[in-house]
Amino acid sequence: MSGEVFNPNPTVFAPTKASRVAAFAKRNSLWLDDADHEHEEEDESNEPEQIDQDEIFELIRSISDPEHRSMTLEQLAVVSAPQITFDSQVPDRLTVEFTPTVPHCGMSTFIGLSIRVRLLRSLPQRFKVDVRVKPGSHQSEHALNKQLNDKERVAAALENPALVEVLEQCLSTAGRHDHDHSV
């Protein structure tokens, strides 16, 4: 990691709240929850729930920005739910697009790599994921996309212990769901 600062003062965005229905409103029910029954009412049916855009967004929204560790990729609007798209023909194929905060951002490869690794670890193997920068948002867009979707180069990057250490730090926030609402 070079000491160069690419964007010392990025814009901060309010995190979108997960589309939550108020706690009292149970879907498709006329009745409010009774405190007495709180334990029993777990959904024990195995009705499949598809992996969707929101679920994938949940996985990557809280990854820390490598340059501003106290902020998440979501807060800097590097990733967003609409930028995750499924291939309409091949259901297991999806594209995750991200937007560097500045077009010369030298951290973009690293951000792309952190998204890639997080998804490698968290999505079923049947998924084929393309990680790319948003068209027109980076000066070396083409090279970057190529790098991020080249299996061998990703694997080679993960052989570098110094890089992996920073990567693990950025990913360590990914599982946390307590978003800072005061931002």
Partner 1 sequence: MENVERLVRTWVATERDEEVEAVVAEISIGNATFVHVVKALGEYLTAEEDSLRTKGVEFLSSVIGKCPPEKLNRQAVRVLVTFYCGKLEDTETIVPALKGLVSLTSLPTFTGTDAIEVVNALFKHVKMNVLVQSQRFLVFRIIDTLVARHREALKGLGKEFLSRYVALVEGEKDPRNLLLAFAIDRVLLIEFDASSHVEDLFNITFCYFPITFRPPPDDPYGITSDDLKNTLLACLNSTPAFGPLAIPLFLEKLTAGSPATKRDTLAALNVCLPVYGAAVARGFARKLWNSLKLEIFQPTDPQTEEAALKTTQVLIQTIYSIDDRESRSDEEDVQGLAKEACEECIQILREPEKSQAKPANKVLCAFMSTTPSVARFTLSRVVPHLVKLFHNPDEAPTRAPTLRLLADFISAARDSTSQDPEVLPDEGDVPLAPVKDEVLGVLTVGLKTPSTAPPALDGLKALVTTRGLLSDEEVGFVVHNVNELLQKEGEDGFDDVSDPALDLLIVIATFAPRHVAANTLPLLFSSLPDRAPPRSAEAERLRYWRTLDSLSKLCEQPDLFETLVVRLLTKLDLVCIPPPEALDTEENHEPSAAYAHSILKTIAEVLSAKVNKGHKDVVKYIDRLVPRLYNLFIYSALMSDGSYMAATDPRLASVAAQIITLITQSLAAQRQGTFIEAVFAAYLHGDVKQLADGQQKLPADRPFTPLDPSAPTLQKNLLGLFSAAVVALRKGVPLPVENEASFLGMLLQWTREHADNVLQRDAVSHVLTSVVNRHAEGLASFTSERLEAFWKAEIADNAVTYQSRRQSISLWAWVTKALLVRGDPLAMQHTDKLFELFNDTDVNWDAARALGFIVASDKILTKRNHAVIKMLYSQRFCNTLLPRIVTGANSSEQPRQNAYLVALTSLITSVPKSTYSHQMTSLLPLLLRGLDLPDPEIRASVMSTLLAAAQPGSETKGAAKEHNALSEHASNLVTTMLKNSMASQMPSVRVRIAALKFLAVLPGVVRYDILHPQKATVIRELAKVLDDPKRAVRVEAVEARTNWFRFSG
Question: Interface with partner 1 by CB under 8 A: which residues?
Answer: 8-14, 17, 20, 22, 24-25, 30-32, 34, 36, 42-49, 51, 55, 58-59, 68, 70-71, 76, 121-126, 168, 171-172, 174-175, 183
For residue 142, the minimal CB distance to partner 1 (Å) is: 29
For residue 42, the minimal CB distance to partner 1 (Å) is: 6
In terms of CB distance, is 71 or 107 closer to partner 1? 71
Q: What size, in residues, is the chain?
A: 183
In terms of CB distance, is 62 or 145 closer to partner 1? 62
Kindly state the tokens that stand for 123: 């999505």
For residue 47, the minimal CB distance to partner 1 (Å) is: 7
In terms of CB distance, is 87 or 146 closer to partner 1? 87
For residue 76, the minimal CB distance to partner 1 (Å) is: 8
Q: Is residue 76 within 8 Å of 11, Cβ to Cβ?
A: yes
In terms of CB distance, is 89 or 125 closer to partner 1? 125
Sign of CA dihedral 28, 30, 31, 32: positive
* DSSP for 32-68, written as a single string: PPPGGGTTT------------HHHHHHHHTTPBPSSS
Closest alpha carbon to 108 in 149, 151, 141: 141
- Please tell me the distance from the alpha carbon of residue 54 to that of residue 155, in angstroms, as a whole number: 27
